[in-house]
Every structure is written in structure tokens, then in C-alpha cells.
Chain A
Amino acid sequence: MMVQKEEGQNEAWEAGKGTSVDPRLEAKMSVSKKLASAATVREVINSLKQTSKNPHLKKILKLQASNFALSLLAGLEVLPGVTKISTLPKVVITAIEIASKGGKKGYFADLYKDVPKPLKALPVAPELYQSVVNQFKTYKEALNFGKDAINKFVHPQANIQAARLLFTPQRREKIYG
């Protein structure tokens, strides 16, 4: 796969090189790791709700929801290496920065230029770089995919809705209670 690299990205790129590129390695990811990843994401989302006490997370909330969702999309594939909540903001920002290489150069950088430096200094799992680059090799497809996703969620199929309700008791009570 050929991916365009920027000079400033070289170091990060080299750090990620050869760590988690092998698709066979990805295929070996265990369910427990997946669950750990998902739990981490959930933890992040819950933490984002309590931004008043955390100025860094407050900044993160400025990130566009679509970018956050797309970053999660990429991040969930490899997040087992990222277990500390403090690394997630940087992960998201980095994902977006790299994503911008496949989109319009400088666009995301302009949007997030006020992200605090401490966040940018946080370590990021090298696996994520490769995953994000792979994900956004088809960046425009991802955007169209996002549009389709909205339509899908606005008008979910009955069986999906029913399945979802089984895992969200509060909502079920609200509807049927």
C-alpha cells in the first residue's frame, strides 16, 4: 500500500512501521482484547460527559462529532494497545491529523490548532497510525459511509432496533413502560 507521508509525520510513521501491519496479526486479535477496547471507548465517552472538571477534555469536545466517530471507527480496530484514558485525546487528534492527509491538506490542522500542547505530547500506540492510515486510504468512502450510516440509524431495521433494545434497558422502559 502506498501512502503519502509528510515530513513531520515521518517519525511517527517510522515508529509504527512494522509493528502491526501484518493482517494475520490483526486476525489473531482476541475477543477479550476487543472487549477491552470497547470498554476503553465507553470510558472515554463517559469521561467526555464530565468535561467541566477537565480542561483538556473540554478542548476535545470541540472536535467535530463526525471526526470523533470516524476516529473511533479506526481506533476500535487496534485500541488494545491504548489502555490509559489520558492517551485517547491524543489518539483522536492524531487520527484526525493523519486523516487530513487523505482529505484536504491543512483543513483539520486549522480546525484543531488550539489543541493544548500537553495533549500533543502524549504517547500514542504505534499500531494506531497504521490502522488510521489504512482506514483513511479510502477517506472519501468513509465520509460517504458516514452519510449512509446516518440514514441507517435514522431508519433502523426492526430487528436491529429490537436487538439494540435488549442491551439498553432504560430505553426499553421508556418506550414500553
Chain B
Amino acid sequence: MDKYQALIVLIKNSLLLSDKSKINLLKKVPDLTFKEVNELGSVLAYEYEFIEKNQKAIEKNLTQLIQR
């Protein structure tokens, strides 16, 4: 898997992007520069890290909110 393919995987599975934004971004991926791929890929990878690091707090708060 190269970085372009990896970026496509991350875009498709992103939680931050809407479906419409995903489609728009996926169309643009082939035209992105390597630098842009790195930048966007890093952000989307960080998305996972953010939720992973805050997993317990998120889980607790979401459960509380849903139960209200």
C-alpha cells in the first residue's frame, strides 16, 4: 500500500468528513501533491489517535448523554 492508497482508505473511513466531502476529496486524490497527501494523511491518522487517547472520556460521556 502506498501513501495515495493509504490516504484513500483513511478518507473513506474518516469520521470527521461528511459523505459529500469524502466524495469530493476522493476525486481530488490523484491530483494531490505528495506533500498534500502527507499533510492530509497525517491529519486523518491523528483523528484516530485523538479518539484513541480520549477513548475512556468519550465513552463515559457519550454513555451518560445517551442515557439521559
**Chain A residues within 8 Å of B, Cβ to Cβ:** 23, 26-27, 29, 31, 34-35, 38-39, 41-42, 45, 64-67, 69, 72-73, 76-77, 103-104, 107, 140, 143-147, 149-150, 152-154, 156-157, 159-160, 162-168
Contacts and interface: CB of A to CB of B under 8 A. Distances in A.
A143 B18 contact: no
Contacts of A159: 1, 9
A107 B68 CA distance: 10
Contacts of B57: 64-66
Contact of A162 (B6, B7, B18): B6
Contact of B9 (A26, A144, A152, A163): A163
Contacts of B66: 140, 143-144, 147
A73 B15 CA distance: 7
B67 to A, nearest CB: 10
Interface residues of B, number: 44
Contact of B61 (A38, A65, A149): A65
Contacts of A143: 62, 65-66
Given A38-B40, A146-B62, 11 more contacts: A23-B20, A27-B20, A34-B40, A42-B42, A64-B61, A69-B50, A73-B16, A147-B66, A160-B13, A166-B45, A167-B3
Interface of B is mostly: helix
A166 B3 contact: yes
With most chain B CB atoms within 10 A of its CB, the pick from A27, A38, A147, A167 is A167
Contacts of A104: 68
Nearest to A76: B16
